[in-house]
């Protein structure tokens, strides 16, 4: 198939593109700055403004919409503003435009990459993802919605930002089921090649851990010795956190400890 991938230059997108190519698919990527891979058809554009969307969708048989924009994930830290609002141009605006173009071009399958638990969250960014899911469901375009739990690279970025602090105040009892983006990319490719499936089984890592266990393994792998200060969680937050795991979903095979060993800390 000729498959358009949005977000194809990001952490997850690169893995999806690579796996699609390995299976012999023709991959095109919509990006502000085209890459150098000659095996990829690069379409220059900008999801935030809509530039290039019509060209990228035209002639595509399937679309993997993996692009998203979370300021907190980009910088690796959460600021008070992130608890108030999140930019909607990519997650809502671009999703609507892609679906509109997909409908006009008779695209056979629109796969939307989402996050586990968004329908029950009050966090602005996750509420946008939930709204985007609804836009996909109501579009009339044959689709799949494929949610994942938190990715290891995001935990690495966040904890790496804290490395210089002598004490780490964290909600150590928060349940988590982080996953490897490569494992999830394989699942996405499986879903897109199987065809439209509506709400697909959620995807998580091989183990459900507390945030405290995640941090302890991180410090051990990075040879850090920082004091962990437990932060209490309100009952409402504990209940909400239950949606961040998917014990009955599909599970990856790469553990957090294995991922840390494969991705040494960056110098500096």
Domain architecture of the chain: domains with CATH: 2-262 (3.40.50.720)
Tokens 């969708």 belong to 57
How far apart (Å, rounded) are the C-alpha atoms in residues 160 and 155? 8
pLDDT value at residue 267: 46
Q: Residue 144: CA atoms inside 13 Å, Cβ hemisphere, count?
A: 25
Asked whether 118 and 133 are in contact (CB, 8 A), the reply is yes
Is residue 165's pLDDT more than 60?
A: yes
Strand spans (E) along the chain: 2-6, 26-31, 40-44, 62-65, 109-115, 143-148, 167-170, 175-176, 198-199, 203-204, 209-210, 227-230, 250-251
Tokens of 144: 């799949």
Q: How confident is the model at residue 98 (pLDDT cuts 50, 70, 90)?
A: very high
Reduced to 3 states, what is the DSSP secondary structure of residue 218? Answer: helix
> What value does the mean pLDDT take over residues 172-194?
95
* Residue 82 confidence (pLDDT): 46
Q: Which of 26-30, 33-37, 193-197 has the lowest mean pLDDT?
A: 33-37
Bridge partners of residue 231, in order along the sequence: none
- Angle of helix 11-22 relative to helix 181-194, nearest 10 degrees, comes to 50
Which DSSP state fits 190? Answer: H
Mean pLDDT of the chain: 89
Q: Residue 44's closest CA among 32, 53, 35, 36? A: 32
pLDDT at 209 over 90: yes
| Burial track 186-218 (b if 16+ CB lie within 10 A, e otherwise) | bbbbebbeeebbeebebbbbbbbbebbebbebb
pLDDT at 81 (0 to 100) = 53
Q: How far is residue 2's CA from residue 217's CA, in Å, rounded to a whole number?
A: 41
Q: Once rounded to an integer, what is the mean pLDDT over residues 235-245? A: 65
pLDDT at residue 20 is higher than 90: yes
98 in Cβ contact with 6 (< 8 Å) = yes
Stretch 120-147: mean pLDDT: 92
258 class by beta-carbon count within 10 Å (0-12 exposed, 13-18 middle, 19+ buried): middle
């Amino acid at each position: 198939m000729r498959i358009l991938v949005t977000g194809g230059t990001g952490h997850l997108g690169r893995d999806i593109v690579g796996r699609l190519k390995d299976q012999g698919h023709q991959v095109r990527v919509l990006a502000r700055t085209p890459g150098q891979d000659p095996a990829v058809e690069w379409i220059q554009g900008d999801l935030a403004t809509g530039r290039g969307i019509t060209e990228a969708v035209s002639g595509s048989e399937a679309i993997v919409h993996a692009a998203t924009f979370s300021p907190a994930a980009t910088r690796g830290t959460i600021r008070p503003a992130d608890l108030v609002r999140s930019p909607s141009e990519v997650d809502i605006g671009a999703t609507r435009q892609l679906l509109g173009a997909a409908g006009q071009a008779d695209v056979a399958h629109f796969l939307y990459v989402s996050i586990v638990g968004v329908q029950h969250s009050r966090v602005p960014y996750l509420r946008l993802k939930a709204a985007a899911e609804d836009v996909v469901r109501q579009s009339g375009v044959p689709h799949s919605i494929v949610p994942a739990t938190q990715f290891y690279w995001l935990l690495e970025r966040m904890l790496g930002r804290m490395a210089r602090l002598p004490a780490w105040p964290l909600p150590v009892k928060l349940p988590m089921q982080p996953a490897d983006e490569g494992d999830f990319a394989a699942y996405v490719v499986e879903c897109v090649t199987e065809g439209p499936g509506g709400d697909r089984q959620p995807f998580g890592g091989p183990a459900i851990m507390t945030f405290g266990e995640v941090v302890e393994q991180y410090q051990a792998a990075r040879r850090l010795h920082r004091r962990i200060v437990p932060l209490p969680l309100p009952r409402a937050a504990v209940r909400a956190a239950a949606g961040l795991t998917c014990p009955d979903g599909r599970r990856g095979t790469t553990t957090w400890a294995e991922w840390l060993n494969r991705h040494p800390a960056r110098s500096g």
